[in-house]
Amino acid sequence: MSSPHVGVLALQGDTREHLAALREAGAEASTVRRVEELEAVDALVIPGGESTAMSHLLREFELLEPLRSRLAEGMPAYGSCAGMILLATEILDAGAAGREATPLKAIDMTVRRNAFGRQVDSFEGDIAFGGLDGPVHAVFIRAPWVERVGPDVEVLGEADGHIVAVRQGKVLATSFHPEVTGDRRVHKLFVDSL
């Protein structure tokens, strides 16, 4: 059986780290910047970055509606930090008018942007993660948290009493950045689900 082909949305954010983590987890990985590249992948990772800038670039590159369509059709996806925000059905504190983060509506959840605070409030810690043996070292950088989940959403992890990792079907999201720690278990969990 061939390896799944996973794209990493490469408009803004930590693309290179996700590409490396996916390859180490057994996937074929490539960048996605155009509709043809999106159509060529089996699954997509939406990296961390700045959710309002990523939303703007999705519109500029004419990827927003094609990406929403692929997700609605069941394309598996994984979003970290800003990627979690974009995968939500509802975004609180979405940004200034005309520059809002745009929900892709792939996971039935409400997410609050920058919930843990500003850049200076970024932190690291170990959290229990459903489906994995042992805790995950989580790096939170201007991280969101999940305020509400729908009935089909599985909560996989919490930090300081807030939901920070979820899965609905084949769509996974974390408010932290596992791609920067060297621990490939979250990426492996995603790749193995494909």
39 assigned ligand-binding residue: no
- 158 given a catalytic annotation: no
146 alpha carbon, distance to own chain's centre: 13
49 assigned ligand-binding residue: yes
Q: Rounded to whole angstroms, how far apart are CA atoms 35 and 25?
A: 25
118 assigned ligand-binding residue: no
Q: Rounded to whole angstroms, how far apart are CA atoms 167 and 85?
A: 13
Structure tokens at 13: 């954010």
3 assigned ligand-binding residue: no
- 18 given a catalytic annotation: no
* Calculated CA dihedral for residues 61, 106, 114, 23, nearest 10 degrees: -70
134 Cβ partners below 8 Å, 6+ apart?
none
141 assigned ligand-binding residue: yes
Q: Rounded to whole angstroms, how far apart are CA atoms 49 and 113?
A: 12
- 56 given a catalytic annotation: no
16 assigned ligand-binding residue: no
Catalytic residue (choose from 17, 18, 179, 187): 179
Catalytic residue (choose from 17, 81, 147, 158): 81
Catalytic residue (choose from 18, 56, 177, 187): 177
Q: Which residues are annotated as a binding site for L-glutamine?
A: 49-51, 113, 141-142
Active site residues: 81, 177, 179
